[in-house]
Amino acid sequence: MALSVADLEARFNDPLLLDSGAPLVHDAQQLFDTAMAHLERGDIRAARRDEAGNWHAVAWVKRAILLGFRIGRVAEMSAQAPFSFMDKHTYPPREFRLEHGVRIVPGGSTVRRGAYLAPNVVCMPPMYINVGAHVGRGTMVDSHALVGSCAQIGERVHLSAAAQIGGVLEPINASPVVIEDDVIVGGNCGVYEGTVVRSRAVLGAGVILSRGTPVSDLGKDTVHRATGDHPLIIPEGAVVVPGARRVSSAFGEAQGLSLQTPVIVKYRDDKTDAATALEAWLR
């Protein structure tokens, strides 16, 4: 009998599934395969947004992903010479069919098993999407971009060339990396653990964000930071560019040093919308 999502959640709420000292349950492979199928259909996600708009990791889904590493054995996954690939047999590249409605342009891209790509997602070569990632409808993942494990990408997002969206698989309760709907992520950006980019924000080329990054907001005369259990949040519609802040110590001043600091220079307006408009016909 097929396992429902509720069945899976009940089974994966047992932390002993990942205890290397405990014997594997007899149906571990079935549990894992079923969870991967639900992930790839978008029935379950590695992170969820609550009614207040806060994002939380879904621990039992992460346990399902980690189970694949426990039961996996290293196997050859070579496509053809001269390339050779060795990985856990539980995590081959995901296969797509026309009915999925996803465009994967030829040229060396890979989507790992257990990732969800909605219809009308476009993947430009070469790019990589890791297990547990969720990519919303109409999003473009451009050349050399990375979507890390369990990263949550919204609808109509543009991840520009060489953008890096970090993954958070362990610890299982760690804050997810989230890019909400209609966000533009510029080339060579990096968005890492403990960062949520709210809808319609624009990250200029080269912006680096992580949990430890303070972001100065010129429009609101404040600094956005991660605090306690709360991630760094880039506000809705914020336009962020690379910046710098002066080092105030005597040595830093003497050496003329400054530290990298992203800066919110304004909030999205008609001029920003015109400059960042996505051509629907490309999708």
Give tens-digit pLDDT for 10-57. 999 987 788 777 788 889 999 999 999 999 999 999 999 999 999 999
Contacts of 111 (CB under 8 A, 6+ apart): 93, 94, 96, 104, 117, 123, 128, 129
pLDDT at 15: 76
Which contacts of 85-91 are long-range, i.e. CB under 8 A and separated by 24 or more positions?
A: 90/32, 91/131
pLDDT at 280: 67
266 vs 254: CA distance, rounded Å = 32
152 vs 232: CA distance, rounded Å = 15
pLDDT at 24: 85
Closest CA to 17 of 40, 43, 38, 35: 35
pLDDT at 274: 80
pLDDT at 102: 97
Query: Which residue type is seen at 5?
Result: V
pLDDT at 276: 81
Q: What is the pTM of this model?
A: 0.93
Residues of the chain with pLDDT under 70: 1, 79-82, 279-283
Query: Which residue type is seen at 161?
Result: A
Cα 249 to the center of its chain, rounded Å:
36
Give tens-digit pLDDT for 77-112. 876 556 778 899 999 999 999 999 999 999 989 999
